Amino acid sequence: MLAFTKFRLSVQHAKLSNFMKKALKKKYASVSNVAKLANCEHQLLFDERYGSKRSQYVEKRRNQGIRAHKQFENQLKATNSDKRCFIATACFGVDAEETRLLRRFRDKFLLPFSIGKFLVSLYYGYSPKVAKFLDKKPVAKQITRKALRLLVRMIKCYL
For residue 107, the 8-state DSSP code is I
For residue 159, the 8-state DSSP code is -
Among 7, 12, 73, 68, CA closest to 37 = 12
* DSSP reduced 3-state for 96: coil
**pTM, full prediction:** 0.47
Among 155, 31, 21, CA closest to 88 = 155
89-143 tens-digit pLDDT = 889 988 889 999 998 898 888 888 889 888 988 898 888 899 889 989 999 999 9
22-47 tens-digit pLDDT = 655 655 566 666 666 666 667 767 77
In Å, the largest CA–CA distance within the chain is: 86
Write down the domain spans for the chain. Answer: 2-53, 54-82, 84-156
- What pLDDT is stored for residue 66 in this prediction? 85
- What pLDDT is stored for residue 36 in this prediction? 61
